[in-house]
Structure 1
Amino acid sequence: MGALTAAAILFGAFFLLLFAGVPISVSLGVAAMVTALMFLPAGDATYVVGQQMNVGIESFPLLAVPLFIFAGTIMNTGGIARRLVDLALVAVGRVPGALAHTNVVANTLFGSLSGSAVASAAAIGSTLHDRQKEAGYDPAFGAAVNIASAPSGLLIPPTTAAIVYSTVAGGVSVSALFMAGYVPGILMGIVIMAIAYVFTRRQGYPKLGRVGAAEAVRVFLRALPGLLLIVVVVGGIVFGVFTATEGAGIAVLYTLVLSLVYRSMSWSAFKDVVTRTVVATGIVMFLIAASAGMSWVMAYTGIPGAITDTLLSMADSKVVVLLLMLVVLLAVGTFMDITPAILIFTPILLPISEELGMDPVHFGMVLILAMCIGTMTPPVGSVLFVGTGVSGVSIEQVVPRLLPYFAGLVLLLLAVTFIPELSLGLPEMMGLLEE
């Protein structure tokens, strides 16, 4: 039985289960087991797949994932969102359509701190919704800006997406990935602001009143403790003071102390935070375990190599192959969240990108950016559903408003793909890329 046949069985079973409504993690595990049974005796297949699932989560770097989830959940209830919105208002309040640009800046800041696009869309969207409504903003327009900008924080460190990719890709430097995310993440925010500016000028949405110097300083000082989290955690990881896992532990301690200083978390709220963290961690870790079993089956049957050879044989041009990869990633993003997409498609597409001469750090940024775009697209875009929910508008109303942002972000994805310096410039300047 050949590798392409194995691929047909594996992905056929996976997508069949997925479209039947089976959870992604269960679909991954069952598809891996079904395929393994085609190549190995039942006892051996059960033992090896189960062993690989255990090995997949037996990783020190992966301890950073639940810790960053914990820190992000604390921030969602710790009063940080309001302070970041106030800071963003001061920064872009004099631009026409100030509340829309505030939404973008606040999402970028809060998303990078919380590590969750969904949490950012919910926290920032709900905070600004009433103000935008009072200022006469079209609710569908406000929702579209919120949805399009919420994933930008997934590129800017500290981000669990980079940690998961680092683990799956075979120990790619987390420090390099963190630095590589800054320029694409900031450019993502700029692209969304530029498109929003065109619409806000056309609709005549107002600027905000001028903020005095004393008030601006007060707002900045109120937001500064939250912003320092990025400096402490990312700086410590990049400069080798501590590992990503240790940095995640420091993030938890820092956010706990901050919430106590702000007096924004009661004991019952803290218990709720712990419960939500445990549930989210269980989901993510089971997903990683199931994907590890699937990755082993793919490696054992030679699926990645067969797909690489097939795709490279379809076109002689590097540009054409890269464009085919982007089409696949954008299509995957429409029905799959960022973590399972990274876990499933990194072992398949990373070898292809390396054959084409792409640095693994560069490919990681392309992959994460493509999946960020996917979170805002139907039919399964998680940020799309959360953003419409907090804004009280339907998906049918928002999707047409999202199309210009989608087009702009696809152009950005092409730029990041074909201009490696956009993602590799900073880590190379800091000597973080492996020779």
Structure 2
Amino acid sequence: MEIISIIVLFVSFFGLLAYGVPVAYSIGVSTMLTLLLNITFLPAITTASQRMTTGIDNFALLAIPFFVLAGELMNRGGIAQRLIDFAKSLIGSLPGGLAFVNVISAMLFGAISGSAIAAASAIGSTLTDKMEKEGYPREFSAAVNISSSTTGLLIPPSNVLIVFALASGGTASVAALFVAGYLPGILVGLAIMIMVYIYAKRKKLPRAPRVGFKKLFTDFKNAVLSLTLLVIVVGGIVAGIFTATEAAAIAVVYAALLGFLNKELKFSDLRPVLLKSAKTTAIVMFLIATSMAMSWLFSFEGIPQLMTDTILDNVSNPIVIFLIINIVLLIVGTFMDMTPAVLIFTPIFLPVAMALGMHPVQFGMVIVLNLCIGICTPPVGTLLFVGSGVAEVPVTKVIKPLLSLLAAMTAVLFLITYLPEISLWLPRVFGLID
């Protein structure tokens, strides 16, 4: 019955996805079908409902709606333009300077807002036209914006890292994951910048005029209050002053005050901001609820232990096993959103990784970066479609310049897979892991 249940679960799930059914409904229906093989109809409905409810009954998950709201307030509050101005003053005079500005701005805004979609929308809508005027192809600008926006999912605060902490069953703390994300996130940004530099030299893209110290200081002063949010949120969590959820609430208050202080946010903006945040939160929470029900079903059917035993019994080389896990996650990322992918595949692959000596925090970086690459690729590719839409460029034209940037991100993925200290050094420095 165990094998039959696994077959029904995965065939129905992937079949529904292939048919175009939304991910959350695909998860819920496939979970129900598998439960019906073991118990009758009414108990199956009761069990699924209970698991969905208890799955989201978690204090740490309250951080998600707060960070979503904080990101929306920042987007409305003019923070993106201030970060762009600072980045342009800092590195705009390099070859392909505006492309570098795009990367740095996306890293900073993505880290502050915790949302790749928000970063791609805010930075892309501001910079794409300016880059085109200076000779940058729009498809190249879109590709840079799409790939660099993923860095905010690694650099804290990041909602997906909170979700992974939940999926890991407490083996990885939010604080340790937040601190661990800095080096991988920065490495991804640097890898993209290297590819941008090579492209800029080959195409002889223009440089922005070098700015004086006075202009640099002015732009830094305008951006410093936005950057301070990172220090408050992450510093407070690491220091043990407040939890991730409390930090998220503080981020909302800070973002609102900053928006009003900058005179970019008005009281009339609050209603659409709250409405959009509520819709986003509802979507994310429903995904988490159905994913948690499926995750419980995995444990009920013994799928994680079965996968661990099967892999370890048939492949003895850890390098090969980690390569297989990465390939599977890269494929998964091309057709599944990040949140359900983390909740579904963490219970399957984390026990395998831990059995081979990989720390849960390191595995968190591995799975998140895999899925970051996935959201930049078709057929689902949420970030790909958002970035292309913002730049007003067909997706088919963006793919070619995007390939080299994805190759750079994949190179970083293998570095963090096989070099544990990239992910673990900072958490050890702060005493967050042994």
Same fold (TM over 0.5): yes
Alignment of 1:244-259 (within 5 A): 244-259=244-259
When normalised by structure 1's length, the TM-score is: 0.98
Alignment of 1:267-306 (within 5 A): 267-306=267-306
User: Which residue of 2 is the match for residue 193 of structure 1?
Assistant: 193
User: Which residue of 1 is the match for residue 129 of structure 2?
Assistant: 130
When structure 1 is superposed on structure 2, of 128-137 and 236-245 the one drifting more is 128-137
Q: Which consecutive aligned stretches of 4+ in structure 1 deviate over 4 angstroms post-superposition?
A: none
Letter in 1 for 2:45: T
Letter in 2 for 1:142: S
User: Which residue of 1 is the match for residue 394 of structure 2?
Assistant: 394
User: Which residue of 1 is the match for residue 358 of structure 2?
Assistant: 358
Are 2:110 and 1:78 aligned? no
Report the alpha carbon displacement of residue 415 of structure 1 after superposing the two structures with TM. 0.5
Q: Structure 1, residues 231-251: CA drift from partner, whole Å, max 9, x if none? A: 000000011000000000000
Q: Is the 8 Å Cα contact of residues 125 and 387 (structure 1) preserved in structure 2?
A: yes
Report the alpha carbon displacement of residue 266 of structure 1 after superposing the two structures with TM. 2.5
Alignment of 1:171-190 (within 5 A): 171=170, 172-190=172-190
User: Which residue of 2 is the match for residue 155 of structure 1?
Assistant: 154
Query: In structure 2, what is the Cα distance between the partners aligned to 1:215 and 1:412?
Result: 34
Query: In structure 2, what is the Cα distance between the partners aligned to 1:60 and 1:96?
Result: 47
Report the alpha carbon displacement of residue 41 of structure 1 after superposing the two structures with TM. 2.4
Report the alpha carbon displacement of residue 267 of structure 1 after superposing the two structures with TM. 2.8
User: Which residue of 2 is the match for residue 381 of structure 1?
Assistant: 381
User: Which residue of 2 is the match for residue 170 of structure 1?
Assistant: 169
Letter in 2 for 1:343: L
When normalised by structure 2's length, the TM-score is: 0.98
Query: In structure 2, what is the Cα distance between the partners aligned to 1:108 and 1:340?
Result: 24
Query: In structure 1, what is the Cα distance between the partners aligned to 2:87 and 2:125?
Result: 15
User: Which residue of 2 is the match for residue 29 of structure 1?
Assistant: 28
Query: In structure 2, what is the Cα distance between the partners aligned to 1:381 and 1:248?
Result: 27
Q: Structure 1, residues 167-221: CA drift from partner, whole Å, max 9, x if none? A: 1111221110011000000000000000010010111111111211111111000
Report the alpha carbon displacement of residue 19 of structure 1 after superposing the two structures with TM. 1.5
Are 2:108 and 1:109 aligned? yes
Letter in 2 for 1:330: L
- Of all paired residues, the percent bearing the same amino acid is 48
Query: In structure 1, what is the Cα distance between the partners aligned to 2:77 and 2:311?
Result: 48
User: Which residue of 2 is the match for residue 56 of structure 1?
Assistant: 55
Query: In structure 1, what is the Cα distance between the partners aligned to 2:268 and 2:36?
Result: 48
User: Which residue of 2 is the match for residue 243 of structure 1?
Assistant: 243
Report the alpha carbon displacement of residue 380 of structure 1 after superposing the two structures with TM. 1.0
User: Which residue of 2 is the match for residue 98 of structure 1?
Assistant: 97
User: Which residue of 2 is the match for residue 403 of structure 1?
Assistant: 403
Query: In structure 2, what is the Cα distance between the partners aligned to 1:341 and 1:123?
Result: 26
Letter in 1 for 2:51: Q
Q: Structure 1, residues 316-362: CA drift from partner, whole Å, max 9, x if none? A: 11111110000000001111121111111111111111111111101
Letter in 1 for 2:143: A
Count of matched residue positions in the alignment of Structure 1 and Structure 2: 433
Query: In structure 2, what is the Cα distance between the partners aligned to 1:260 and 1:351?
Result: 47
Letter in 2 for 1:131: K
Q: Is the 8 Å Cα contact of residues 49 and 296 (structure 1) preserved in structure 2?
A: no
Query: In structure 1, what is the Cα distance between the partners aligned to 2:4 and 2:107?
Result: 43
Report the alpha carbon displacement of residue 42 of structure 1 after superposing the two structures with TM. 2.2
